[in-house]
């Protein structure tokens, strides 16, 4: 009998195959409710549309009992995994019957294999099973690491869709929420800018360009906050997310990780801050303060028989000097002078 059992196991690949594709249906052992035949292998492959799973239960079950279901059995499988193995007509230490148990497939397909060996000591009626397609709620019972959608997940019969909070755009992958962050131009002489949602996690799959433009003659100074958190890699320099600064012909960065870039003196009145994020990670981002300092001019020499107002130890960009004459003298040329990195004239 052991030899014959081994032969039956090896012959399982030759089991008669029945495919079921409806949204619901029933299946039963051969000849039910009469006793099922000996030496029989039957496999039912049940498939339903994506977005559904298969639920299976038995309304009648009576097979030959055997230790660990060695003789006759029903095996339920999905994606190469055995979900259940049944035999006999009541539960024992080594046998299990389905009773009122409902078996659910992890995805949209399920397989049921019925096998009977060469002999039955008694007559057994077999089984009747019923299946139905049940909608999968893709949005439910997921951990933060396995989220389908960045922001909002909406289930419907047969599928789901994602949406984003106000101010965000749905990426072409239909699950990631990104921001449109390349239209801002900062023209004030000082200000603050940061990654979106700072100090909360910044959006994924975004490419941001922040432009700072101040008047010619001013030089921009950037200072990043000490709190800096941009996704990095232990072996490769900033392959995922990064901040870069372009100031005229000079480049700074890319910067990532948890070490702040600190102070960047750009020596330019035009600066672009680039920020790239990929489709993963929950890092908190960055913030910087920028200031602008005008060009300096040397203290001018006072023309003969003239007076300068105001008299200072240093002069900055766009500051004016009024030139007047001592009593008895008349101004012939320039009345005002202006600092533009050097002293210019206003007539």
Question: Quick one: pLDDT at residue 11?
Answer: 42
Torsion angle defined by CA atoms of residues 120, 121, 123 and 128, in that order, rounded to the nearest 10 degrees: -50
Residue 162 confidence (pLDDT): 94
- Is the CB of residue 69 less than 8 Å from the CB of residue 121? no
pLDDT digits (tens, 9 = 90+) for 135-183: 988 888 665 556 788 889 999 998 899 999 888 889 888 988 888 888 7
Q: What is the pLDDT of residue 3?
A: 41
Query: What integer pLDDT is reported at residue 345 of this predicted model?
Result: 72
pLDDT tens for 66-124 read 999 999 999 999 998 999 999 999 999 999 999 999 999 999 999 999 999 998 878 89
Are the C-beta atoms of 194 and 202 separated by less than 8 Å? no
- Of 148-152, 231-235, 296-300, 323-327, highest mean pLDDT: 231-235
Among the ranges given (3-12, 173-182, 307-316), the one the predictor scored with the smallest mean pLDDT: 3-12
Structure tokens at 80: 């190469």
- Looking at residue 346, what is its pLDDT? 66
> Do residues 106 and 79 touch, judged by C-beta distance below 8 A?
yes
Q: pLDDT category, 1, cuts 50, 70, 90?
A: very low
Q: What's the confidence (pLDDT) of residue 6?
A: 40
Q: Quote the CA–CA distance of 85 and 87 in Å, as a whole number.
A: 7
**Share of residues in the chain with pLDDT > 90 (%):** 59
What's the pLDDT at 285?
Answer: 96
Which residues are 31's β-sheet partners? none
Rounded to whole angstroms, how far apart are CA atoms 325 and 332?
10
Instruction: Say which residue, 8 or 265, is predicted with more confidence.
Output: 265
Closest to 106 measured CA to CA, from 50, 159, 53, 160: 53
Position 226 scores a pLDDT of 96
Please give the DSSP secondary-structure letter assigned to residue 202: P
User: Mean pLDDT, to the nearest integer, of 311-321?
Assistant: 77
pLDDT at 4 over 50: no
All domains of the chain in start order, with CATH: 2-135 (2.60.120.290), 137-178 (2.10.25.10), 181-294 (2.60.120.290), 297-346 (2.10.70.10)
More confident residue, 259 or 166: 259
pLDDT surpasses 60 at 322: yes
pLDDT for 316 = 72
Q: How many CB atoms lie under 10 A from the CB of residue 337? A: 19
289 Cβ neighbours under 8 A, 6+ residues apart: 190, 191, 192, 222, 223, 225
Residue 256: is it exposed, middle or buried by C-beta count within 10 angstroms (0-12/13-18/19+)? buried
Q: Which tops the pLDDT comparison, 44 or 7?
A: 44
Look at residue 341 in the predicted model and tell me its pLDDT.
Answer: 63
Which pLDDT does position 179 carry in this prediction? 87
Query: What's the whole-number average pLDDT of the chain?
Result: 88
């Amino acid at each position: 009998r052991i030899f014959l059992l081994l032969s039956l196991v090896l012959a399982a690949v030759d089991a008669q195959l029945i495919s079921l594709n409806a949204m619901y249906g029933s299946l039963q052992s051969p000849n039910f409710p009469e006793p099922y035949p000996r030496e029989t292998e039957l496999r039912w492959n049940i498939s339903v549309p994506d977005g559904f799973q298969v639920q299976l239960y038995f309304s009648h079950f009576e097979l030959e009992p055997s230790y660990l279901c060695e003789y006759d059995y029903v095996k339920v499988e999905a994606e190469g995994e055995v979900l259940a193995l049944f035999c006999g007509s009541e539960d024992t230490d080594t046998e299990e019957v389905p009773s009122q148990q409902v078996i659910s497939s992890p995805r949209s397909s399920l397989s049921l294999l019925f096998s009977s060996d060469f002999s039955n000591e008694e007559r057994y009626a077999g089984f009747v099973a019923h299946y139905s397609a049940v909608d999968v709620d893709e949005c439910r019972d997921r951990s933060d690491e396995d989220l389908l959608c960045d922001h909002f997940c909406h289930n419907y019969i047969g599928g789901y869709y994602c949406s984003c909070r106000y101010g965000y755009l749905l990426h072409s992958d239909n699950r990631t929420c990104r921001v449109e962050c390349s239209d801002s131009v900062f023209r004030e002489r000082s200000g603050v800018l940061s990654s979106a949602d700072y100090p909360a996690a910044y959006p994924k799959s975004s490419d941001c360009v922040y432009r700072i433009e101040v008047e010619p003659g001013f030089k921009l100074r950037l200072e990043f906050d000490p709190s800096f958190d941009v996704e990095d890699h232990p072996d490769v320099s900033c392959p995922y997310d990064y901040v870069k600064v372009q100031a005229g012909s000079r480049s700074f960065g890319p910067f990532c990780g948890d070490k702040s870039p600190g102070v960047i003196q750009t020596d330019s009145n035009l600066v672009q801050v680039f920020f790239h994020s990929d489709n993963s990670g929950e890092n908190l981002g960055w913030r910087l303060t920028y200031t602008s300092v005008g060009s300096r001019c040397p203290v001018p020499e006072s023309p003969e028989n003239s007076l300068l107002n105001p008299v200072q130890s240093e002069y900055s960009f766009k500051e004016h000097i009024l030139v007047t004459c001592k009593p008895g003298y008349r101004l012939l040329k320039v009345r005002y002078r202006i600092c533009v990195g050097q002293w210019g004239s206003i007539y």
